[in-house]
Amino acid sequence: MNLIVAKNIKRLREENKLSMDELARLSGVSKSMLAQIERGDGNPTLSTLWKISNGMKVPFDALTVRPESPYEIVKTAEIQPILEDNGNVKNYPLFPDDENRRFAVYYLELDMNSYWQSEPHLKGTTEFITIFTGEIEIFADSERFVVEKGESIRFKADVVHSYKNTGKETAVLHMILYNP
């Protein structure tokens, strides 16, 4: 935790263009203590951290939060898939939707003859699907589409829609759900 706090304080101080002297003056924490904390050598008390957060005018938890990494490697083999059709459809949430994104990315495997019907998503949601292996049949809003390896489809997913593997092998696809 000390290293997380150290990195956050240094990052926030630099983002706010504060020198060590300025932060010491604003927070009432000595420059030598601030330097020690930023190196990860110090073991600051809660009172000291409150002084620093108040001095920088940032929420206290900004000092303790793990910053989001600018990159993320996702290993599909380490993800527990969402199963449909008695396990014949495996849906791996690679990058699930969260409060900071308006999209989600999935990797799917549909065994031969598998079928999955989805309820409507939020109003305005669009699905983008690319087929890497096999062939699937998609029904969306009473329209039928057959999509094969090397093809992609986009459709409004705020209606009942379904997927069926109509090929002679496991269908592998990527799906992006965009939520406006």
> What's the CA gap between 97 and 104, in Å, rounded?
5
Q: What is the pLDDT, as a whole number, of residue 89? A: 94
Angle between helices 46-56 and 31-39 (to 10 degrees): 100
Find the mean pLDDT for residues 2-28: 92
Q: What is the pLDDT, as a whole number, of residue 22? A: 96
Tell me the per-residue pLDDT of 66-76, one tens digit each, with 9 for 90 and over: 667 788 888 99
**Is residue 157 predicted with pLDDT exceeding 70?**
yes
Which phi and psi (to 5°) does residue 49 adopt? -65, -35
Find the mean pLDDT for residues 156-167: 95
Q: What is the pLDDT, as a whole number, of residue 176? A: 95
Q: CB-side exposure of 135: number of CA atoms within 13 Å?
A: 6
Which phi and psi (to 5°) does residue 119 adopt? -70, 160
> Across the beta sheet with 126-133, what order do the strands follow?
82-84, 89-95, 103-110, 171-178, 126-133, 152-156
Q: What is the pLDDT, as a whole number, of residue 56? A: 92
Tell me the per-residue pLDDT of 42-85, one tens digit each, with 9 for 90 and over: 778 777 888 998 899 888 778 877 667 788 888 999 888 888 89
**Is residue 129 predicted with pLDDT exceeding 90?**
yes
Select the more confidently predicted residue: 41 or 65: 41
DSSP bridge partners of 139: 144, 162
Average pLDDT, the chain: 90
CA nearest 50: which of 32, 64, 67? 64
Which residues, including other chains, have CB under 8 Å from residue 130's CB and lie 6 or more apart? 151, 152, 173, 174
